[in-house]
Structure 1
Amino acid sequence: MSYRPNPPVTEYLVLEKLQDTAKKPPSSANPALVLDKYVGWATNNRGKREVDKNWLKSVFIDHYRSMLGARDGEYKAAYQAYYKRWTTMLSGYNANQRVLKTVWRLAVHLGRTSVIENGTIALQHSLGFPFIPGQSLKGLARAYAEMVALKDNPAELLRLFGDQKSEGSLIFFDAIPDGLPELELDILNPHFPDYYSGKKKLPTDDQNPVPVNFLTVAKNSRFLFGVAATAVAKPGDSEQGIDLLCNALEELGAGAKTAAGYGQFQRTK
């Protein structure tokens, strides 16, 4: 058995300082950084520290909303400058751009590595607003093409999306919000925690549900999507690519829990 000395006092001081920030983040703190690095603790009924299951509701959501409603407008101004740079970049690639809005809530990156486990969401790293990664959108569009639009044309599917040996003709960009969206808490409520954890062999009714919160983007949130063509593309490929993506967003949905209606989009006028 190896001997592990007690951590130095300075380590505890650093952790306590982090908790001060976690419980009351500075008004200008980046939401992505707060979510990833400053999660709050709580003391359980055994007297041990663990991740505070109410932290998302009691601290993080309020912090994000306070930034959206800040009187000085600094956060909105930073977002607007980013949005302008982003659309300029898309135009530079001659990308086809479309704006779609969520029909219901959007849950993206629930499985992302985090101490909160299931509660996290994909937030843009420098400003902290929600986004949908481009690689996820490419996978979604390819899945739709493979199952529906190009199921009888594997050669065209390969030409558009490529594989590990060949370059495709499409570039899928991250989808960013067209206007800062609200974040909302949702809940998972597993009724048989002892059964799922292996403590009991059967899902009996005497087990206590353990609610789990997770973050979502509110319904009617608008996102900007962009698809461009690579050097090997044919004329019209980017238009075909954005149509495939829009159809996939409407019919399959993006992110997690799409079978329950999350992540469904509709085109805007």
Structure 2
Amino acid sequence: MAGTPNPMQAFGGRGPRGPRPAPPAAGKPGPRPGGGGSGRGGKRPQGAGGSGARGTAYPANGPLGRVLRVEHKISETKTTTLLKHQIGEEWQDVSAQANALIVLRRLSFEPVDGGTNPWKNHVPLHEWATRTGLGQDDGDGLLRRTLERRRSFLRRWTKTGAERRHVRRLRLTVEWRMVSGHGLQFGVLDNGLALNGTYGWPTLPGSTLKGLAAAGARSAGAETAQVVRALGGPRPRFGKDPRPTQEEHRSGSVRFLDALPDVDTVKVHSDVITPHQHPYYTGTDPQGPDAARSDTNAPFPGEHHNPVPLPFLSISGDLRVDLLGDDKGDLDLVATWLGEASEELGAGGRTTAGYGYFEHTDVDEEDL
């Protein structure tokens, strides 16, 4: 399995961690980062100025630089960053209809000021994400139609089969903000956020919901037999109950569908965490990230170390969760466990900082 991409080697040395050119003067084209020419994006487009502001345009790193670029319009008061894509001879804004899976995981750009702060490579991508809601505000009602298709599927599912099938619909309302998928690493830049595999919208995967329900069951002191029946086994021992045996390997009676954003509610936020004493925690020994704790030559913690901003995306608003099963009692149990976890444990990362807590409410089955 391939490891995490090395930004210093990505795109033939033209990745976001490579050497930075000096910012071009207003209205003048600058060289292509890492060497100009027509390859992989060609020459830097002409800068744009006017009204006391100066502008620069940077192609995307790699082959996408031929059709995608970022434009910075810098004035005395603020900097405006826009993603542009080429249609014919014109450059137009990348709209909310673009799939966030491509925008966040396949693109990287030079920093807004041409400097050496690698975290600024996230600026154009995160500004696009917060402005468009990661593709939810597409203007053509795709999210509404997707939610209706989900309801149509649930209607048909409950009416098929020899036995009665049940659906439990929940609405998860984030109390403040939530970040799910913080440990995911895709592409050159780490934009860890769980996204729907088809549409690129923010989501909570079904596997995350199932793990959250299991954590809530443990917190609520549920019986092992109940957990195995509803979530499958074997499961870790709950309380003083005996460990499940090999014969108890089974699928759970409850099925978890990936959460979908509710219409016009989920907002995307650009957050940042700034750890101090970064060299102490990461170490400088190439043998591994734990070198700072094992190597006597590793740097000691000190306030003279520069803080390192680490940007990430978070969400707020409502998510729609659908649970399917043949046993209504098991569905009620799982919904209770999700409620326990949402109030006491939280979901996703940075729960100690207040992220990931939410309220859950039932959605009437007649809403199907």
TM-score w.r.t. length of structure 2: 0.60
Mapping 1:28-67, distance limit 5 Å:
28-42=97-111, 45=116, 52-62=118-128, 65-66=131-132
Distance 2:359 2:100 in 1: 27
Shift of residue 116, structure 1, vs aligned partner: 5.4
Letter in 1 for 2:302: T
Distance 1:155 1:135 in 2: 20
Shift of residue 108, structure 1, vs aligned partner: 0.6
Cα root mean square deviation, aligned: 2.7
CA contact (8 A) 2:103 2:125 kept: no
Number of the residue aligned with 1:79: 143
Q: Secondary structure at the match of 2:320?
A: strand
Change over 3 Å in CA distance of 1:59–1:154 after alignment to 2: closer
Task: Summarize deviations over 1:164-221 as a string: whole Å, max 9, x none.
Answer: 5212111111111112411101111110011112244321111110111000003xx0
Mapping 1:55-204, distance limit 5 Å:
55-62=121-128, 65-66=131-132, 73-74=139-140, 77-91=141-155, 92-93=157-158, 94-115=166-187, 118-150=190-222, 153-163=223-233, 165-180=249-264, 181-199=266-284, 200-204=298-302
Q: Secondary structure at the match of 1:236?
A: helix
Mapping 1:234-253, distance limit 5 Å:
234-253=327-346
Distance 2:350 2:269 in 1: 15
Change over 3 Å in CA distance of 1:122–1:235 after alignment to 2: closer
Larger CA Rg, structure 1 vs 2: 2
1:255 to 336, 340, 348: 348
CA contact (8 A) 2:129 2:268 kept: no
CA contact (8 A) 2:257 2:323 kept: yes
Letter in 1 for 2:150: W
Letter in 2 for 1:206: H
Distance 1:197 1:107 in 2: 23
1:213 to 295, 300, 311: 311
Which stretches in structure 1 are left out of the alignment for 5+ residues? 1-6
Q: Secondary structure at the match of 2:251?
A: coil
Percent of matched pairs sharing the same residue? 27
Residues 1:21 and 2:68 are matched in the alignment: yes
CA contact (8 A) 1:96 1:238 kept: yes
Distance 2:220 2:260 in 1: 26
Task: Summarize deviations over 1:68-99 as a string: whole Å, max 9, x none.
Answer: 566xx22xx01110111122223435310011
Query: How many pairs are equivalent?
Result: 246
Which structure's residues are more often strand, by fraction?
A: 2
Change over 3 Å in CA distance of 1:149–1:11 after alignment to 2: farther
CA contact (8 A) 2:126 2:313 kept: no
Shift of residue 145, structure 1, vs aligned partner: 0.7
Which structure's residues are more often helix, by fraction?
A: 1
Change over 3 Å in CA distance of 1:96–1:268 after alignment to 2: closer
